[in-house]
Structures are given as C-alpha cells and as structure tokens.
Amino acid sequence: MSSRGARLWGYVVEMYPLHVNVPYSFVLFFGYYLLLQAIYGMAPLRFTRESLLGALTLACFTLLLRVFDEFKDYEHDVKLFPHRPLPSGRVTKADLTVLGWTLAAVMTALNALLGGKALAGYALLMAFALLMLKFFFLPDLHRRSLLLTLCTHNPVAVFTHLYVLGVFFQAHGIPLDRPVPAGAWLGILMFWGLIFAWETARKIRSPEEEDDYVTYSRLLGTKRAPLVPAFALTMSFGLAVWFAWTLALSPILPVVLVLAWTYAMTAFSRFVAHPAPTTSKLRPYVETASLVLYAALLVALPVRFGLERLF
C-alpha cells in the first residue's frame, strides 16, 4: 500500500469505521426503501439492483460528508481536537482531496448506471452537500451560530431520503407526475427526526464539561437543551407507531417502540434532574433507540408483506 493509501486507510479506520458506518448506511437506505414499498401496497417486498447501488451511494456519501467536515472545521479542530488525523498531520489535505474526488467519481458512476430519477435525486443531494461545504456562502455567520448551522445543514437528512425516493421511483417505474402518498413524506419526517435527535443530543454537556466547544446546553441551558432531541425522538416514535397501525404491522412492534422510547426518555429526564458528567452522555441512548426503531421496521415489514428475493 502506498504511503497515501496507508494514511487514508488509517484515517478511515479512525474517523469512519467501515464495520459501523457501512451497515448504518444500508439500514438508513433500506429502512425507508422497504417502507415505501409497503406504503405503495407492493407485496412481497423486494430488494432490487437499483436499491443496492443506492445503498452503496449513501455509504460513499456519508464518508464524503466526513471529509467535507475536515475542511470546514480545520481551524476549529486544530484548537480543540489536535489529536485528530488532519490536525495532527497523520493525513494531509491533499490526501483528503484525492479521497473526496474518488468518492464523487464512484457515486457518479453508480448513479449513471441507475439513470433517470435516481440520477436527478443524486444531483440534488450533491448540490446540497456542496452548499454545506461552502457554509451556504456565509461562512463567518455560520461559524458564529450553532443554531443557524443546525437549521441549514441538518436538512441534508431530508435530501438523503429524497434520494432514496428517487431510487425507488426509478426501480419501480413510478412516474414523477404521479401524486406521492402522504405516508412517503411522513416517512421522511420520521427518519429525519432520528437524525435531528442524534445531532442535537451529541452536543449537550454538563456545566463541568463545557469548554470552548459550542454546545446546545451552553446556548439553551441544561433544562431546555435536552427537550430538543427529546421532542424530535418523540415525533419519530409517534410516527413509527402510526405506521405500525396503518400498515397493520405486528402488534408487538408498538410495544417494542414504546420500550425503546422510554429507555431514551429516562436518560433525558435523568440529565435534566441532575446535569453531571455521569448523566450527560445522551448520544448512546438516542443511537440505541434509533437502532431499535430501524431494526423493528426492517423485521416487521417483511413479516407483514413478505420478501421476494435478495437482489
């Protein structure tokens, strides 16, 4: 392996562990893809060639976003996270530029194979990602406002699921002029809520842990900040229960969802009552609850509608 290859491999292992992030990208893609088939009344559910290419695209895209963040946050990381690969010099900006262009080329090739509606969804997704890279051409304003950055950057989750919708349309020959069922939009809202909850929960700390890193707990206080991810998570789980009812999924599903939601809410409540380093780690609770929701749907949907074949 070349020295650049070795540096990039070390970077990926540290900053984007493949054994975690690739499966996550596939779960993110197929969670919505299978739900769309159920919403459109397709049975049995199918994994398609198009869906595999789409899931691979999302795996590449999430790594590309990680690379973009290295460039966007470089000055910030040098001060607060000097041990990370780029600030420490274990990988260079030139290395990451090569990785970024390689990922873009791979994704473009995958979606050229898909064509049509999937390619259009990919173009929208990449356009939004490039705007994020440039801080929507307002870098100074974004660097001064965590809330503005949240409002402008977090909708990438919506564009991600719009891409999945485009792949679904392409795979099943659904014309763009056909009305999209309300459930498809509610599915995007449900999955976006999980990502919004994760993004906000990971930037909440106790007063003893606060430093120069800007957090939501510093901006909103330890009593109000946890309400933001708690509300988003509650919305997502409420929609999941609604899908379980409207799609006549297993009655066990709502029970599992309520238990997972309660698990996360207990952590939020504990932090609000006693904000301390021992109670501030909210991110793992959100991740666990989100994983349960995805896993429950990925099991309940094929059980209810059947599964035709693998790719």
101-147: per-residue pLDDT in tens?
999 999 999 999 998 899 999 999 999 999 998 988 888 888 888 88
309 has pLDDT over 70: no
- The structural domain count of the chain equals 2
181 has pLDDT over 90: yes
Average pLDDT over residues 25-35: 96
Strand partners, 45: 307
Q: Which of these three, 163, 180, 197, is where a domain ends?
A: 180
Whole-number pLDDT of residue 149: 87
Average pLDDT over residues 206-235: 93
For residues 234 and 131, membership in a common domain is answered with no
Peptide bond before residue 44 is cis, with ω within 30 degrees of 0: yes
The answer to whether position 311 is within a domain reads no
93 has pLDDT over 60: yes
Average pLDDT, the chain: 93
Report long-range pairs for 283-288 (Cβ below 8 Å, ≥24 apart).
283/198, 283/201, 283/202, 285/201, 286/194, 286/197, 286/198, 286/201, 286/202, 286/229, 286/233, 287/198, 288/260, 288/263, 288/264
SS3 307: strand
Q: Which of these three, 148, 180, 212, is where a domain ends?
A: 180
For residues 5 and 146, membership in a common domain is answered with yes
276 has pLDDT over 90: yes
Average pLDDT over residues 83-93: 93
**How far apart (Å, rounded) are the C-alpha atoms in residues 148 and 142?**
6
310 has pLDDT over 70: no
For residues 135 and 222, membership in a common domain is answered with no
For residues 290 and 196, membership in a common domain is answered with yes
**How far apart (Å, rounded) are the C-alpha atoms in residues 276 and 264?**
17
Res. 75 pLDDT band, cuts 50 70 90: confident
Q: Which of these three, 119, 154, 180, is where a domain ends?
A: 180
Average pLDDT over residues 52-81: 92
Say what percent of the chain tops pLDDT 70: 98
Whole-number pLDDT of residue 292: 96
Average pLDDT over residues 149-171: 94
259 has pLDDT over 90: yes
The answer for residues whose C-beta is within 8 angstroms of residue 126's C-beta and 6 or more apart is 104, 107
Average pLDDT over residues 249-266: 97
Which range marks the domain in which residue 118 is found?
Answer: 1-180
For residues 114 and 153, membership in a common domain is answered with yes
Average pLDDT over residues 230-252: 97
Please give the model's pTM, rounded to 2 decimal places: 0.93
